[in-house]
């Protein structure tokens, strides 16, 4: 099957439908009973008790109310995650007994269309779970409220979050939501097989940190049979890697005013050249043949021990760890490497990017009665800053919380020995530019790199084509955007 035929399947991995599938296969690293027990006993030391506001000591605005309030909550916490969110809602309603939250789980088809249609019809829920690009689109049509003043009023310390997690939701001088789950850790780190590193004579505790060391490790890790077919792949050259490598070469995607593409800079061209070096080393046809034989499911070649490294979304790590248990690998077999950087650029350093494809937040529509707006804000704040919200929900899925303190829970290290390296990756991240069409621009760039991966186009040609197409899309957006009033 040619590379072009792999594109639809791989692009699907960028969608939350695929991430959902991964979660539903073996989503949790702890039994649901343990997760529920954790939620029932949050006063214990298992999860740090940071962020919970005792009902008798609430910040300004959180006054006791006798008048009952019901708010609707559109969300995508379905499948095996539904009981987890139900538990969070129950804890919230204990804290604020006058507020009833009606959870309304939505389907995965046409997410953005559903969100915009609800607002267009004038019947949006009081709290809407929405993706980063959808949130900015709602800002553009003046449909939601910023939370900047509410954060200040209630003295929410934004330093509790990783900086890029909050910056990802800043747009036009305002903050529009807070993150849950993390906006980052998507292709901004790599997993590696320590056992394969040892067999290749590489230090399993010192994964490659620079572009040149990646090429050298790939040479040692990639094995071929007598006919030249790859039997073990070191580092995969992939179309989604350009943007992370751009930022790890001190590049940026757009200019600061968000009106011009900037990825066609020297930093971008060097990042493209590096991908070109890697695919030529692997041989496009041989890499494609290897993946067709071994990558029948997401991360399968890595899980089976035939691919030594993989750049992926953090949600896939849960699947990797679960399936590794079934093969009875040693507990410390999995390592995490930070984003490799260009050591020839003195300004370059390992840099991850948040907001690369999605990033969920929770928004409040304009025009709500005062009591409903207050109830909606209290719920959003509870979800994202309280240990009974973000702390519990992320731990139950084995995923890092956007809140630093919650990740101090020592139980995480029992589930994932590489957990602290994930946190190091989060600390390196910067937020991608905030625009409703950003995902479209990223997809334009990624699709332009498919011919490079297939060996039919030069990397710099791909950058030039992507820049031309992305700039046209940017110009159209700015020419037609509704001005927020």
Q: What is the pLDDT along the chain (485 residues), one digit of tens a residue?
A: 444 334 433 433 333 333 333 333 333 333 333 343 443 333 333 444 433 443 334 554 455 556 899 999 999 999 888 999 999 999 999 999 999 999 999 988 888 889 998 998 889 999 999 999 999 999 999 999 999 999 999 999 999 999 999 999 999 999 999 999 999 888 889 999 999 999 999 999 999 999 999 999 999 999 999 999 999 999 999 999 999 999 999 999 999 999 999 999 999 999 999 999 999 999 999 999 999 999 888 889 999 999 999 998 888 887 888 777 777 677 789 999 999 999 999 999 999 999 886 789 999 999 999 999 999 999 999 999 999 999 999 998 888 999 999 999 998 888 888 899 999 999 999 999 999 999 999 999 999 999 999 999 999 999 999 999 999 999 999 998 855 44
* Residue 257: inside a domain: yes
**Same domain? 36 vs 167:** yes
* Residue 155: inside a domain: yes
**Same domain? 373 vs 300:** no
**Same domain? 230 vs 329:** yes
* Residue 3: inside a domain: no
* Residue 7: inside a domain: no
Q: How far is CA 331 from CA 325, 327, 357, 424, in A?
A: 8, 11, 31, 20
* Residue 410: inside a domain: yes
**Same domain? 166 vs 192:** no
* Residue 26: inside a domain: no
DSSP assignments along 127-163, one per residue: EEEEEHHHHHHHHHTT-B---HHHHHHTT--GGGB-H
**Same domain? 108 vs 242:** no
**Same domain? 47 vs 156:** yes
**Same domain? 198 vs 332:** yes
The model carries a pTM of 0.84
Q: What is the pLDDT of residue 65?
A: 55
Q: What is the pLDDT of residue 186?
A: 85
Sheet with 309-313, side-by-side order of all strands: 309-313, 186-193, 334-338
Total domains, the chain: 2
The CATH number assigned to the domain holding 224 equals 3.40.190.10
* Residue 156: inside a domain: yes
CA atoms within 13 A on the CB side of 94: 13
**Same domain? 314 vs 244:** yes
Structural domain that includes position 472: 185-351+434-480
* Residue 6: inside a domain: no
Residues 6+ apart with CB under 8 A from 297: none
**Same domain? 61 vs 149:** yes
**Same domain? 267 vs 292:** yes
> Can you list the alpha helix ranges (DSSP code H) found in 173-294?
194-199, 211-221, 242-247, 266-282, 284-294
**Same domain? 334 vs 449:** yes
**Same domain? 53 vs 73:** yes
Cα–Cα distance between 184 and 358 in angstroms, integer?
Answer: 9
């Amino acid at each position: 099957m040619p590379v072009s035929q792999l594109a639809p399947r791989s692009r699907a991995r960028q969608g939350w439908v695929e991430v959902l599938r991964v979660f539903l296969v073996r989503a949790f690293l702890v039994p649901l009973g343990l997760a529920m027990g954790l939620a029932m006993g949050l006063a214990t030391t298992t999860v740090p008790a940071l962020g919970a506001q005792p009902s008798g000591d609430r910040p300004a605005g959180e006054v006791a109310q006798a008048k009952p309030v019901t708010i609707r909550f559109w969300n995508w916490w379905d499948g095996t995650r539904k009981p987890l969110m139900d538990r969070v809602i129950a804890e919230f309603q204990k804290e604020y007994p006058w507020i009833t939250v009606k959870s309304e789980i939505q389907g995965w088809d046409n997410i953005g269309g559903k969100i915009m249609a609800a607002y267009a019809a004038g019947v949006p829920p009081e709290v809407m779970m929405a993706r980063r690009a959808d949130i900015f689109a709602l800002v553009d049509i003046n449909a939601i409220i910023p939370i900047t003043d509410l954060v200040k009023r209630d003295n929410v310390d934004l330093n509790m979050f990783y900086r890029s997690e909050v910056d990802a939701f800043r747009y036009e001088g305002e903050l529009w939501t807070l993150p849950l789950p993390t906006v980052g850790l998507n292709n901004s780190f790599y997993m590696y097989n320590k056992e394969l590193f040892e067999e290749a004579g590489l230090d399993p505790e010192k994964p490659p940190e620079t572009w040149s060391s990646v090429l050298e490790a790939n040479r040692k890790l990639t094995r071929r049979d007598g006919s030249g077919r790859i039997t073990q792949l070191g580092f995969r050259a992939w179309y989604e890697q350009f943007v992370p490598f751009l930022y790890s070469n001190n590049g940026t995607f757009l200019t600061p005013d968000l009106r011009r593409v900037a990825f066609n800079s020297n930093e971008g061209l060097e990042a493209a050249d590096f991908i070109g070096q890697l695919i030529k080393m692997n041989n496009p046809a041989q890499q494609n043949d290897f993946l067709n034989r071994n990558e029948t499911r997401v991360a399968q070649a890595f899980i089976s021990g035939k691919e030594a490294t993989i750049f992926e979304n953090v949600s896939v790590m849960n699947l990797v760890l679960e399936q590794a248990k079934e093969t009875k690998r040693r507990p410390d077999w999995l390592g995490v490497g930070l984003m490799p950087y260009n050591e020839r650029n003195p300004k370059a350093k390992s840099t991850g990017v948040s907001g690369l494809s999605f990033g969920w937040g929770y928004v409040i529509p304009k025009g709500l009665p005062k009591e409903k707006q207050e109830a909606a804000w209290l719920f959003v704040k509870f979800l994202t800053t309280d240990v009974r919200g973000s702390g519990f929900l992320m731990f139950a899925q084995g995923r890092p919380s956007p809140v630093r303190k919650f990740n101090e829970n020592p139980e995480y290290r029992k589930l994932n020995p590489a957990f602290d390296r994930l946190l190091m990756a989060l600390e390196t991240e910067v937020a991608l530019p905030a625009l409703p069409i950003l995902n479209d621009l990223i997809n334009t760039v990624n699709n332009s790199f498919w011919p490079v991966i297939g060996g039919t186009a030069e990397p710099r040609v791909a950058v030039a084509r992507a820049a031309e197409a992305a700039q046209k899309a940017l110009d159209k957006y700015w020419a037609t955007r509704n001005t927020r009033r």
